[in-house]
Amino acid sequence: MSASTESRDRLRIAIQKSGRLADPARALLGACGLSWRESRDRLFCYGEALPIDLLLVRDDDIPGLIADGVCDLGIVGRNVLAEQDLDRRQNGVAPAFRELVPLGFGGCRLALAVPDDWEWRGAGQLANRRIATSYPALLRNWLAEQGIDADVVTLSGSVEIAPRLGQADLICDLVSSGATLAANQLKPVTTLLDSEAVLAGPVAEFEGERALLAELLLRRLDGALRTRHSRLLMFQAERAAIPRLLPLLPDAESPTVLQVDGADRLALQALCHGRLTWQRLEDLKRAGAQGLMVLPVESMLA
Ligand code: PRT
Ligand code: ZN
């Protein structure tokens, strides 16, 4: 463990300063009960509710900050973490960080994309082609797995215009909606990595006070992630309708059933973990649910 971590009994989490992951990362940590003395413009936010501080940095710096022990945890795309991990391995450097928890936002995939007029017949077509990417380690690793010898052109940005500029024949880049590829007359043909934001940490275990703080944070994170799509569903129904209603709630934890008046009228409460769409509520109503109410869940402790 490096010198910078030895004397700290506070936990330090690196998140993106600005960009796609910045706001959702903050919101998620906020949902875990963390708060900071506001200093959005600075690099460092001092934790108030708990001794957990934030470092606001570029996403690409997060794995290295964990490796160097400058911070303990980080929220970063799996794509960045996997690229830097492979790069270290390919250069004979020992693994120093790892994915701890997938966080369910920042979803995208690293994909090969070819010009629209290519007819894709598989990886064999890539031999001796030039492929532009910002993810050379992941791409080289994939090409090696496929047994393909191709030319990897490393670019730090605007990869999607490389084929039009004649820098490459095809690209390997992140895709979410696919609109950027379409606008550049490219089409995705195969996925190398499915990605989302993850909580990353060191390979080595934490010790002392920071181990307790990390454990606390992971527990709260688990609760916050489970609560995110959970809703409390409440309704009343005749007893006879129950066999029609329960199959519509496959994602509900065993519902609480209360008798309302007489033996035949029941009130039900169910914690649902899937999405309660309008369609589902209408189906429930048709099956006999009355006075349907959907409530958000603030927190949950297992
Ligand atoms: O300044 P800093 O270095 O911190 O930020 P950055 O510019 O490197 O990163 P940023 O904020 O763009 O992305 C941060 C992380 O968000 C990435 O590492 C991914 O894990 C995740 N993410 C999710 C994405 C996308 N979706 C995404 N669509 N990152 C980039 N894109 C790009 C994509 O490459 C394409 O060029 O956005 C463009 C639009 O995508 P489409 O398919 O929706 O058109
Ligand atoms: Zn970046």
Query: What are the φ/ψ torsions at residue 3 (nearest 5 degrees)?
Result: -55, -35
What ligand 1 atom has the least distance to the C-alpha of 57? Answer: 4
Taking a 5 Å cut-off on Cβ, the residues next to ion ligand 2 are 59-60
What ligand 1 atom has the least distance to the C-alpha of 17? Answer: 4
Helices 208-228 and 22-31, axial angle in degrees (round to 10): 100
Q: Which ligand is nearest to the CA of 161?
A: 1
With H, G, I as helix, E, B as strand and everything else as coil, classify residue 233: strand
- Tell whether ligand 1 has an atom less than 6 A from the beta carbon of residue 196: no
Tell the residue nearest (CA) to atom 11 of ligand 1. Answer: 19
- Tell whether ligand 1 has an atom less than 6 A from the beta carbon of residue 106: yes
Q: What is the pLDDT of residue 41?
A: 66
Q: What is the pLDDT of residue 2?
A: 45
Query: What are the φ/ψ torsions at residue 220 (nearest 5 degrees)?
Result: -65, -40
Ligand 1 center–CA 19 separation, angstroms:
8
What letters, b where the CB count within 10 A reaches 16 and e where it falls short, cover 7-29? ebeebbbbbbbeeebbebbbebb
**Domains observed in the chain:** 3-106+197-227 (3.40.190.10), 108-194 (3.40.190.10), 231-296 (3.30.70.120)
- Tell whether ligand 1 has an atom less than 6 A from the beta carbon of residue 180: yes
Tell me which residue has tokens 């869940």. Answer: 297
Q: Which ligand is nearest to the CA of 106?
A: 1
Going by the DSSP 8-state scheme, the letter that residue 20 receives in this structure is T
Q: Which ligand is nearest to the CA of 178?
A: 1
Give the mutation target among 57, 173, 175, 187 for probing the ligand 1 site: most ligand atoms within 8 A of CB. 175
Q: Which ligand is nearest to the CA of 197?
A: 1
Tell the residue nearest (CA) to atom 3 of ligand 1. Answer: 58
Tell the residue nearest (CA) to atom 39 of ligand 1. Answer: 180
Q: What is the pLDDT of residue 185?
A: 97
What ligand 1 atom has the least distance to the C-alpha of 173? Answer: 34
Ligand 2 center–CA 108 separation, angstroms:
15
Tens-digit pLDDT string for the chain (302 aa): 444 545 578 999 999 999 999 999 999 999 999 999 876 667 899 999 899 999 999 999 999 999 999 999 999 999 999 999 999 999 999 999 999 999 999 999 999 999 999 999 999 999 999 999 999 999 999 999 999 999 999 999 999 999 999 999 999 999 999 999 999 999 999 999 999 999 999 999 999 999 999 999 999 999 999 888 889 999 999 999 999 999 999 888 878 989 887 779 999 999 998 888 899 999 999 999 999 999 988 877 76
- Tell whether ligand 1 has an atom less than 6 A from the beta carbon of residue 16: yes
Q: Could you give the residue ranges of the DSSP H alpha helices within 37-134? A: 62-67, 78-90
Ligand 1 center–CA 92 separation, angstroms:
28
What ligand 1 atom has the least distance to the C-alpha of 79? Answer: 20
Ligand 1 center–CA 20 separation, angstroms:
7
Q: Could you give the residue ranges of the DSSP H alpha helices within the chain? A: 3-6, 22-31, 62-67, 78-90, 136-146, 162-165, 179-183, 208-228, 242-245, 278-286
Instruction: State the Cα–Cα distance between residues 247 and 128, nearest whole angstrom.
Output: 55
Ligand 1 center–CA 144 separation, angstroms:
26
